[in-house]
Structure 1
C-alpha cells in the first residue's frame, strides 16, 4: 500500500494504480496511471515529484468547465504537461438515475456518468489507455466520483478483480475530510457559494465505501457486460484496448 500512496503537500487523494491483481493472476504495472483529487494547489516540490521523479506526461481533467474556469487547469498544465479536459456529469441518460444521489445511491449516480456524455468518457479513456501518454494522471475535484467511475471502467476492462477495484475506491474514504476542506477553501477564495453537498446531500454521498463500487461494477456487468463491453459498444477500438492491456499489465 505504501508503494501506491503518493504523499503531496497540495493534494490529499493521490495514488498509483499499479499492483492491482487481475482475474488471471497478473498485476497492473506501477508508474503508468495515477488518480488524484484536484491538483490546483500543488506546490513546486509536488510538481517536481510528479514530473521529474515520476515522469508524468499527461493530465486528464474530468471537472466541469465551470470548475476549470474558477480554479484553473493547475500547476501541472503550467509546467508544460499535455492536458485535456473531458468533463463528466451524471445525467438521466441511463434509467433516470440522477435523483438517486439525493437518496445516497452513489452506484446509480455513477451509472449516470455513462449516459449522454458517453463520448467524453470514451475520449478520456482513450487518452489514459494510450501507452504513448503514460505516465498519466486522471483527476476531478475530490478524486472520488468522476475519477472513481472512469478508473473502475478502465480497470474492469483490463480484467482487474472487482474486489481490488472496490478496495482501491475505498482508499479515498479516509481522505475525504482533507479533500472537502480543500474544496471549500477554493470556493471561498473564489467568492463562490459553498458547495451544496454541505447542505443538501446525505452524508453517505461523501463516503467512499467498497460496497458502493461493488454495486456499480455489478450494474456495469449486468447492463453492459462490464467495462470492456461498455467501451467497445461506445466506439473504443478493440485494438486500442488490447494495446492498453499489454502495456498496463505485468506478467
Structure 2
C-alpha cells in the first residue's frame, strides 16, 4: 500500500475512517485489539506518541472488517496509525485501561463541527485518582500526564488524596462544591424531595454560581497554557464537575452539542461497576450516580438564558481564547 505520509484523515465511502475503526482494550487483562469495518486492505502502525508512530513497519495488516488482537505494551499508552487506500487516521483507545479508575478518558479523536479532530493524548477527563495502582501511575507517566486539576471539595480530596504519576509537575486544587460525592454530600442530596430536580439545579449552579464560574475560568487559564498539556481534570465520578468542564472545553473546540452530549452520557457505561451496588441498595440515590441528558442540558440552557450563546459565555465570562485553544488542541 503506497500512501504519502503527509496525507491526512480522509473519507472512506462517504464516512470518516475514524468512524470505521477503533482501538479496544480490556480493562482487566489490558489486551488491545483493533475493531474495523471497511472492505479495503489496511495496515496498522504504532508508536508511543502520535509523532513517533512508525509508518514504515506495520504491526498488523489485513483486509475487510473484524476484530484483530494487537501485540502492544500493557504498561505504556500506544497510539496507532491506520492506513487504507482512501487515507490515513490516528487512533487510540478513548477509555484508559486502568485498574484503579473507572471513568478516565481521552478527549482525543472527537470530531468538530468543521471536520477537524481533537488531538489524542492532550486532554483527559477522569474520576477520582485516589485508588490508582502503581501500574496505573506508570501508564499515566507514559503519556506523560503533566498537569492534574482536582475539582473535588476539600473534604473529598482530604479523605481520598490523589495518587499522582511521577510525570505530574503541576497540580491544581480547584474546589467546586456542587457535585460533592462525599458521604455528607450524598446524604444531603438524598434529603431533597426530588433528586432529579436537584441534579438539574446543581448543573445550573455549575455555570451560574460565581465560585463555580471562577473555577472554570481558572481551568481554561491552565488549559490555554502550552506547558500544561498533557493534562487531566477530574472530580469524584468524572461526570458532573468534570463532565461540565469537558463539555465547555468541547464547545470551545467547536464540537457540536449532540456529540458533547454523547460524550457526557458515556460516563454511564464506565461508572456502572463503580456505583451499581450503591444504587441497588439505595435506589433513590440513582440520579446522584448517573449522567442524564436533562442534567447537562439544564446547565447548557442556563448558559444560553444568561449569556445568549455558549460561545459568549466562554469568551466573555471564562476569558477563553478560541483561536489559541483550537491551535493547541486541534489537528491541522
Which residue of the other structure, out of 117, 121, 135, is the alignment partner of 1:31?
121
Q: What is residue 116 of structure 1 aligned with on the other side?
A: 210
Which residue of the other structure, out of 238, 254, 259, is the alignment partner of 1:159?
254
Q: In 1, distance between residues paired with 2:192 and 2:254?
A: 28
Which residue of the other structure, out of 286, 290, 293, is the alignment partner of 1:203?
286
Determine if contact 1:60/1:128 at 8 Å carries over to the other structure.
no
Compute the TM-score of the two structures, normalised by the length of structure 2.
Answer: 0.61
Question: CA 1:201–1:147 in structure 2 vs 1: closer, same or farther (change >3 Å)?
Answer: farther
Which residue of the other structure, out of 128, 142, 149, is the alignment partner of 1:60?
149
Q: In 2, distance between residues paired with 1:101 and 1:151?
A: 29
Q: In 2, distance between residues paired with 1:119 and 1:86?
A: 9
Q: In 1, distance between residues paired with 2:268 and 2:331?
A: 28
User: Residue 89 of structure 1: SS of its match in structure 2?
Assistant: coil
Bigger proportion of residues as strand: 2
The 5 A counterparts of 1:15-30 are 15-30=105-120
Structure with higher Rg: it is 2
Q: What is residue 213 of structure 1 aligned with on the other side?
A: 296
Question: CA 1:159–1:175 in structure 2 vs 1: closer, same or farther (change >3 Å)?
Answer: same
Displacement of 1:235 in angstroms is 5.0
Is the counterpart of residue 81 in structure 1 residue 164 in structure 2? no
User: Residue 110 of structure 2: SS of its match in structure 1?
Assistant: coil
User: Residue 133 of structure 1: SS of its match in structure 2?
Assistant: coil
Note the alpha carbon deviations across 1:23-73, whole angstroms, 9 max, x for none. 212121111100111111111111111112x11110000001111111123
The answer to which structure, 1 or 2, has the higher relative contact order (CA under 8 A, 6+ apart) is 1
Question: CA 1:107–1:40 in structure 2 vs 1: closer, same or farther (change >3 Å)?
Answer: same
Q: What is residue 322 of structure 2 aligned with on the other side?
A: 241
Displacement of 1:125 in angstroms is 2.4
Which residue of the other structure, out of 12, 15, 18, is the alignment partner of 2:102?
12
Compute the TM-score of the two structures, normalised by the length of structure 1.
Answer: 0.79
Q: In 1, distance between residues paired with 2:308 and 2:249?
A: 13
CA RMSD of aligned residues (A): 2.8
- State the aligned residue count: 228
Displacement of 1:242 in angstroms is 2.0
Displacement of 1:83 in angstroms is 0.5
Note the alpha carbon deviations across 1:172-226, whole angstroms, 9 max, x for none. 10222333379x8xxxxxxxxxxxxx76954223221345434433443343244
Question: CA 1:102–1:122 in structure 2 vs 1: closer, same or farther (change >3 Å)?
Answer: farther
Q: What is residue 146 of structure 1 aligned with on the other side?
A: 241
The answer for unaligned runs of 5 or more in structure 2 is: 1-21, 24-92, 180-188
Q: What is residue 103 of structure 1 aligned with on the other side?
A: 195
Displacement of 1:127 in angstroms is 1.0
Determine if contact 1:11/1:39 at 8 Å carries over to the other structure.
yes
Q: What is residue 48 of structure 2 aligned with on the other side?
A: none
